[in-house]
Structure 1
Amino acid sequence: MTIDNSSNQDLKELRIPRHVAIIMDGNGRWAKERGLPRTEGHIKGQESLKATLKAAAEFGVEVLTVYAFSTENWNRPAEEVDALMELLVRAIHAESAELIQEGIRLEAIGDLSRLPQTAYEALMDCMAQTSAGKRVRLVLALSYSSRDEIVRAIRRAVALQASGALTSQDITEKAFSALLDTANLPELDLMIRTGGEERISNFLLWQAAYAELYFSSVYWPDFGREPLLEAIRAYSDRERRFGKTSEQIQLGDD
């Protein structure tokens, strides 16, 4: 996964998002259309993640958050869940050395306590080994759903209030954001969903309040540098107003 930092005039003219999130959809359909088992789509999807991560680093994206496994995915057939967890462990072991070499910092969000012990230990070990990475932060959303994240944040707020560390007046948007799994991440700029579906499926609901949404018809196993660049071009062409008028944005009004 050697990262290409060669100059690119097209990239210099683009407004690059700091934080990109991707709903990696279409593995199963990609496999089905080829008469392959679903697991083959997930395996090919790992290659797409490597290509997309490489491109994100090349383009100057600081954080790439990917929806790897939702809390709802636990309801899938047991054999598929087991295969996904096994793929996760194998991928972590296979990629750890290269992540370290390329300066990629691995992080994770979600209810990680639900992961099988082998997956949890492999994840924690890789996160520790890559913690000094400065190039790109790769954030895996594992056993994650946004509603679950918000409920867990509310529980933290209630516990803090019960201990006297927090009052109801202290609970502002900023304070609540600090209780979410993404507290240490920059604001989300761009959310991409692959596979042709146009919904965000319980992913980063709070964080996506002012993010730009981009829906790609490309199945995740076919995603990579060019589809990501196309999404960033679309993002760069949009005017992010955050509730203001175009005139205010152009004048730089606070």
Structure 2
Amino acid sequence: MPSSGLRNSLRTRRWFSSLPPIEWLSLRIQEALIGALRQGPIPQHVAFVMDGNRRFARQSHIETTEGHNLGFEALAKILEICYKAGVKVVTVYAFSIENFKRSKYEVDALMDIAKIKLSQLSQHGDLLDRYGAKIRILGHRSLVNQEVLEAIDRAMELTKHNNKAILNVCFPYTSRDEITSAIQSIVALAIPTKMKGRQLETLTEEAAEAIDCAHEGFPQSRSESPSSNTTMASTIVSGSPAALALLPREHVDFTGVRHKEIVDLESISEQTVTDHLFTADNPPLDLLIRTSGVERLSDFMLWQVHQDTDVEFIDCMWPEFDVWHFLPILLGWGLKRKRFLREMKLDDEQKHNRGSTWAKELGFGEVNGSQNKKTV
């Protein structure tokens, strides 16, 4: 469709949907569908690659920043549907570390939008407050300027007491960076008890204090800002790797004695890595949706996508993605989940019946007090 035709079509669609009778009817239908969805299984963790804002802007002959603003409006509507339906965790790919390669004008504009929208989302009485959702920023904080960091911290502070749902904003983020951070924290825990002949227990109080100072600006992960004291800590602790300064505070006390068990390298597993990711305390990823028709993950949640994650690639730009695109996906996920659970139950029944048959043939009669039943 020509860009002018697309623009006119979208304007007509928005105008029509904003008419009071149409808007009222649309809301009633949405509420009914969401109510029906809640009667069945609902994904507990949904992730979005919000792709297509720039292309939408080009096609619509509007400024790129306006495309990003429209993308935020689409996000707000989708978040409301998620929380109404019962989704507990929503993770959005807001800004990739690779996006810093874009023009300075666009990067600065995105940072300004982030400051404004984070403030709007977290205000008392706004979306997150209404649904009891806390906001978490997952990513490499040290790459973000101070003004944006302050906006991030305010948003997290304002929503920290909300405990019904979570909004993870990946900003700035790549999955490779997240996995690297997880590996670094695991390696730090796996430091051998001897460091070039020195026992950890003999670390001086000065060294322990330096390590503690390093953590004043580096609480848990690369989603927090690293402190320049990290280098000082690794220098003072003669012969120790710099990773020691990245240890969480609870692993080092003020006398320099680590009082938590050191991870054995042989015990490191997939679960160990999962437990050190930014999403460690979130439920497994059930559903990942990417708009714009592009069929790749683009370095987003590569570890979290597992064999039971549904990945949906939608051929529309993110600002166009609305409830009528999203609800059918939720419905489809619920139907597939029901079918999967039904097949699991049938499989368990068949296994039980086979066991009962074998037991009867061997002369044991009943199994677990129940008669053998023929599977239909």
Instruction: Note if 1:20 corresponds to 2:46.
Output: yes
Work out the CA distance in 1 between the residues paired with 2:267 and 2:324. Answer: 45
Aligned-partner SS, 1:137: strand
Q: Deviations over 1:73-94 (max 9, x none)?
A: 1111111111000100011222
Instruction: Note if 1:45 corresponds to 2:65.
Output: no
Work out the CA distance in 1 between the residues paired with 2:345 and 2:288. Answer: 22
Match of 1:212 in 2: 310
Match of 1:182 in 2: 279
Match of 1:73 in 2: 99
Higher strand share: 1
Work out the CA distance in 2 between the residues paired with 1:163 and 1:87. Answer: 46
Please identify the structure whose Cα radius of gyration is greater.
2
Instruction: Note if 1:194 corresponds to 2:291.
Output: yes
Give the superposition deviation at 1:252.
Answer: 4.7
- Structure 1: state its 5+ residue gaps: none
Work out the CA distance in 2 between the residues paired with 1:249 and 1:72. Answer: 45
Instruction: Note if 1:58 corresponds to 2:84.
Output: yes
* 1:34-183 superposed matches below 5 A: 34-97=60-123, 98=126, 99-162=128-191, 164=193, 165-183=262-280
8 Å Cα contact 1:31-1:40 kept in structure 2: yes
What is the total number of aligned residue pairs between the two structures?
249
Aligned-partner SS, 2:306: helix
8 Å Cα contact 2:38-2:85 kept in structure 1: no
Match of 2:16 in 1: none
Match of 1:236 in 2: 334
Q: Which amino acid aligns with 1:204?
A: M
Aligned-partner SS, 1:138: strand
Give the superposition deviation at 1:249.
Answer: 5.9
Q: Is the deviation greater in 11-20 or in 141-150? A: 11-20
8 Å Cα contact 2:92-2:170 kept in structure 1: yes
When normalised by structure 1's length, the TM-score is 0.89
What is the percentage of aligned positions where both structures have the same residue? 35
Give the direction of change, closer, same or farther, for the CA distance of 1:14–1:171 in structure 2 (3 Å limit): same
Match of 1:251 in 2: 347
Work out the CA distance in 2 between the residues paired with 1:67 and 1:127. Answer: 17
Q: Deviations over 1:177-231 (max 9, x none)?
A: 1111111111100000011111111110110022110111121111232222122
Aligned-partner SS, 1:208: coil
When normalised by structure 2's length, the TM-score is 0.62
